[in-house]
Amino acid sequence: MIKALSDYLSRMFSGSTDSSLAEWEATYAEDLAYLNALSRRETDADKPDAA
């Protein structure tokens, strides 16, 4: 995700095109979904069993 963000910032300051922005947004969405899934998995692992 850090690489995607740095790529986005470098494109933004170098006159990015709409296609590169859309590409970054897609990558960012994938990375964010992955991080959210990891976060949920860790949170669920911390919970005691309800049974």
**Tens place of pLDDT per residue across the chain (51 aa):** 678 777 777 766 766 556 777 787 888 888 888 888 888 887 776 666 655
Per-residue CA distances from 49 to 27, 43, 44 (Å): 35, 12, 9
pLDDT of residue 50: 52
The CA distances from residue 41 to 20, 26, 34, 36, 50, in Å, are 32, 23, 11, 9, 16
Cα 8 off chain centre by: 12
Give the domain extent around 27. 1-7+19-36
28 belongs to a structural domain: yes
* C-alpha 2: how far from chain center: 8
Placement of tokens 């990558």 in the chain:
27
Q: Is residue 47 part of a domain?
A: no
pLDDT of residue 18: 63
46 within a domain of the structure (yes/no): no
- Total domains in the chain come to 1
